[in-house]
Chains A and B, each alone.
Chain A
């Protein structure tokens, strides 16, 4: 009996533990940025380098698809990047429907948190520059504050965007403007059919009601301008 049990459990013991990764063998990515380039996609990660006094570092990967860009980033780093604690994803204003959809799909496949916050920025480069110390946690915190002050930033969770995409509805993402080390929330970026339509200012954004889509019912043009 003991021999039989050993025959079953010993190989199991030898085979197990392969998926175990020590927490310090990963780079915890807190912010992800996606930008469309002439060659395809530019993917940016902001991660905490624990070996270097917990400093925030940025890395860029390029490829034809988001997955390829992510693979290139992994190859360039000495530790594997972990996206499980990513707090926010910032899209560049220029990305098209396909890339937007692909990025959302990538987030789902790589088990990014469901409460992940999405945002849009005119240009994401300053966010991932050497000088910028902005992390995903900062963006997440800023959106929380913005939501309590201006009522914007509450519609940015990944699952809500996915629902809106699947139902063919429009949605809005917080719009950032970055300048140097500073990051400023300047309103909402409106999307329809996964494509960026326009940006509205803070004042107009206050009329954007939480949990209500903007697919035609709310006309911002007639109200705001």
Chain B
């Protein structure tokens, strides 16, 4: 668009024509012409719905219309900037491109007859969802605030918590067409400079026409975008982001989504809950260990059950073996087919439950889980122990939502490995996954650095959540100021 390369001229009509050509056929752009001091022509350009109309009327229109004098020359814009406008954020602009991108972000452009510069006035006033509790990260105790879709407000929420000049929110744009605003937030004295440099270089390399959600950026900047395991974290909670920043991590706020990216991401974070730091440390530790057990059970339970019942039946206690064999009497499918089919059915129910309205979702889970399950067992289509095992595996998987992708795929892979090779297949795949996890890294930081250390102090926030009194140093990922707490 050649108009974007141009500069303002001194004729108001030509400047307006420039914008009319630029936003040809756009129904929401507004051109409001009026006279300043009752004589000099001026025009306000803004997008309806993106500005606070009251602010435009009171802080821009009113002082200009009621002004007693205005120099009728090229300095009129500067005079208005210095003497007339009530708005807190005003800047002079000569380039059409800058002015256009500003009004696209909710600012108002003031053009005055005879001036080669326009005035960009901050009148942003689009409606947002507002602060609400994040649906996916609910806590019983602790802050209830969640981010909303406006990046500027999200950054302000962090600023409100981190009242230090050390906090920095660098602004950048990503996406050729969407020009999505992205804030790179970090604490200057704590951030790992190598990670920051790497992040900026990866962001710079992004060449995509639209960024509508943080996941676009997540996939474009992570080392292994097709991995089952996350190498970049996401959260909707400002308190979590603040805690991450205080550990030397970096947060990326993407405009248009409440999901804020945090990095580098360690594997142990998958088992940490936001609530761990707001409840008693022993309870938090117990919960964390339980989540680790659940993760293991979620992919192991069906696989081990298949391996034991079809390949290593002698491992089962006699009474249990008889129960399993008895329950399978009359079932037409093999144990492997049964496990695969039930796992698929569970995933279908889970997927449907998420998409359905909450009231329908409850009914669906009752019908799907209880009625259909019970009927299928009674009709001898499936066996009861397998139903219990798959349900247990599914429920365990839900306790680690950050690993839902990994659990989903690992469960199927493990079932197939155990179904074809027995316990040998299961152990082989387990080792393969272990090797893969140990080889993961996030922005040059070893993802399992906190898990494989022999130093006891590194475990203080991994398997257990130590009391705050003993959390004296920050994690290994940052390399500047390691002392978190003195005394």
A85 to B319, CA, bound (A): 9
- A19-32 contact mask (Cβ, 8 Å, vs B): 1 or 0: 11111101010100
Which chain B residues (381-433) contact chain A, with CB distance < 8 Å? 419-422, 425
**Option from A22, A28, A113 in Cβ contact (under 8 Å) with B310:** A22
- B24-36 contact mask (Cβ, 8 Å, vs A): 1 or 0: 0000000000000
Could you say which interface size class chain B belongs to?
20 to 34
- A54-96 contact mask (Cβ, 8 Å, vs B): 1 or 0: 1000000000000000000000000000101101000000000
At the interface, yes or no: A181 with Cβ under 8 Å from chain B? no
Contact B328 A24 (CB under 8 A): yes
- Residue among A17, A20, A48 having the largest count of chain B Cβ atoms under 10 Å: A20
A44 to B322, CA, bound (A): 20
Contact B313 A82 (CB under 8 A): yes
Contact A26 B313 (CB under 8 A): yes
Nearest residue (CB) in A for B307 is A20
A100 to B298, CA, bound (A): 48
Q: Given A16-B420, A19-B422, is A26 in contact with B325 using a C-beta cutoff of 8 Å? A: yes
At the interface, yes or no: B180 with Cβ under 8 Å from chain A? no
A111 to B314, CA, bound (A): 9
**Option from B318, B329, B420 in Cβ contact (under 8 Å) with A24:** B329
- Residue among A82, A84, A85 having the largest count of chain B Cβ atoms under 10 Å: A85
Q: Given A13-B420, A16-B420, A48-B322, is A23 in contact with B314 using a C-beta cutoff of 8 Å? A: no
Contact A54 B313 (CB under 8 A): no
Nearest residue (CB) in B for A16 is B420
Contact B309 A23 (CB under 8 A): yes
- B305-332 contact mask (Cβ, 8 Å, vs A): 1 or 0: 0000111011010100110111011010
A26 to B324, CA, bound (A): 12
A24 to B310, CA, bound (A): 10
**Across the interface, which residues of A come within 8 angstroms of B420, CB to CB?**
13, 16-17
At the interface, yes or no: B57 with Cβ under 8 Å from chain A? no
At the interface, yes or no: B480 with Cβ under 8 Å from chain A? no
Q: Given A13-B420, A50-B326, is A22 in contact with B335 using a C-beta cutoff of 8 Å? A: yes
Q: How far is the CB of A144 from chain B (nearest CB, A)?
A: 14
A50 to B321, CA, bound (A): 12
At the interface, yes or no: A51 with Cβ under 8 Å from chain B? yes
**Option from A19, A22, A24, A85 in Cβ contact (under 8 Å) with B314:** A85
Contact A23 B325 (CB under 8 A): yes
At the interface, yes or no: A137 with Cβ under 8 Å from chain B? yes
Contact A23 B318 (CB under 8 A): no
A21 to B312, CA, bound (A): 9
Q: How far is the CB of B341 from chain A (nearest CB, A)?
A: 15
**Across the interface, which residues of B come within 8 angstroms of A113, CB to CB?**
314
Q: Given A26-B325, A111-B314, is A20 in contact with B331 using a C-beta cutoff of 8 Å? A: no
Contact B309 A28 (CB under 8 A): no
Contact B321 A23 (CB under 8 A): yes
Which chain B residues (326-366) contact chain A, with CB distance < 8 Å? 326, 328-329, 331, 334-336
Q: How far is the CB of A1 from chain B (nearest CB, A)?
A: 15
Contact A50 B329 (CB under 8 A): yes
- Residue among B311, B314, B318 having the largest count of chain A Cβ atoms under 10 Å: B318
Contact B311 A24 (CB under 8 A): no
**Across the interface, which residues of B come within 8 angstroms of A48, CB to CB?**
322
Q: How far is the CB of A172 from chain B (nearest CB, A)?
A: 25
Contact B314 A28 (CB under 8 A): no
A22 to B333, CA, bound (A): 10
Contact A28 B325 (CB under 8 A): yes
**Across the interface, which residues of B come within 8 angstroms of A82, CB to CB?**
313-314
**Across the interface, which residues of A come within 8 angstroms of B335, CB to CB?**
22-23
**Across the interface, which residues of A come within 8 angstroms of B421, CB to CB?**
16-17
**Option from A17, A50, A87 in Cβ contact (under 8 Å) with B325:** A50
A120 to B311, CA, bound (A): 33
**Across the interface, which residues of A come within 8 angstroms of B318, CB to CB?**
28, 30, 85, 87, 137
A54 to B321, CA, bound (A): 13
Nearest residue (CB) in B for A136 is B318
Q: How far is the CB of A26 from chain B (nearest CB, A)?
A: 7
A152 to B321, CA, bound (A): 28
Q: How far is the CB of B418 from chain A (nearest CB, A)?
A: 10
**Across the interface, which residues of B come within 8 angstroms of A85, CB to CB?**
313-314, 316, 318, 321-322
Q: How far is the CB of A59 from chain B (nearest CB, A)?
A: 17
Q: How far is the CB of B400 from chain A (nearest CB, A)?
A: 29
Q: How far is the CB of B361 from chain A (nearest CB, A)?
A: 36
**Across the interface, which residues of A come within 8 angstroms of B316, CB to CB?**
85
**Across the interface, which residues of B come within 8 angstroms of A16, CB to CB?**
420-421, 425
A91 to B322, CA, bound (A): 25
Contact A24 B422 (CB under 8 A): no
**Option from B313, B326, B328, B331 in Cβ contact (under 8 Å) with A84:** B313
**Option from A24, A26, A87 in Cβ contact (under 8 Å) with B331:** A24
Contact B422 A20 (CB under 8 A): yes
A30 to B335, CA, bound (A): 24
**Across the interface, which residues of A come within 8 angstroms of B329, CB to CB?**
24, 50-51
Contact A84 B324 (CB under 8 A): no
Contact B326 A22 (CB under 8 A): no
Contact B419 A17 (CB under 8 A): yes
Contact B310 A23 (CB under 8 A): yes
A17 to B310, CA, bound (A): 9
A82 to B311, CA, bound (A): 12
**Across the interface, which residues of B come within 8 angstroms of A17, CB to CB?**
419-421
Q: How far is the CB of B54 from chain A (nearest CB, A)?
A: 62
Q: How far is the CB of A17 from chain B (nearest CB, A)?
A: 5
**Across the interface, which residues of B come within 8 angstroms of A54, CB to CB?**
322, 326
A17 to B419, CA, bound (A): 7
**Across the interface, which residues of A come within 8 angstroms of B331, CB to CB?**
24
A23 to B313, CA, bound (A): 7
Q: Given A17-B420, A21-B310, A82-B313, is A28 in contact with B321 using a C-beta cutoff of 8 Å? A: yes
List 9 interface pairs A-B (beta carbons < 8 Å), by A numbering. Answer: A19-B311, A22-B310, A22-B328, A23-B310, A30-B318, A54-B322, A82-B314, A84-B314, A111-B314
For the complex of A and B, list the 3 residue pairs with the smallest distance between their C-beta atoms, beginning with the closest: A84-B314, A23-B325, A24-B328
Give B residues with C-beta under 8 Å from A. 309-311, 313-314, 316, 318, 321-322, 324-326, 328-329, 331, 334-336, 419-422, 425
Give A residues with C-beta under 8 Å from B. 13, 16-17, 19-24, 26, 28, 30, 48, 50-51, 54, 82, 84-85, 87, 111, 113, 137
Seed contacts A22-B310, A24-B326; 12 additional CB < 8 Å A-B pairs: A20-B311, A20-B422, A22-B309, A23-B310, A23-B313, A26-B325, A30-B318, A50-B329, A54-B326, A82-B313, A84-B313, A85-B321
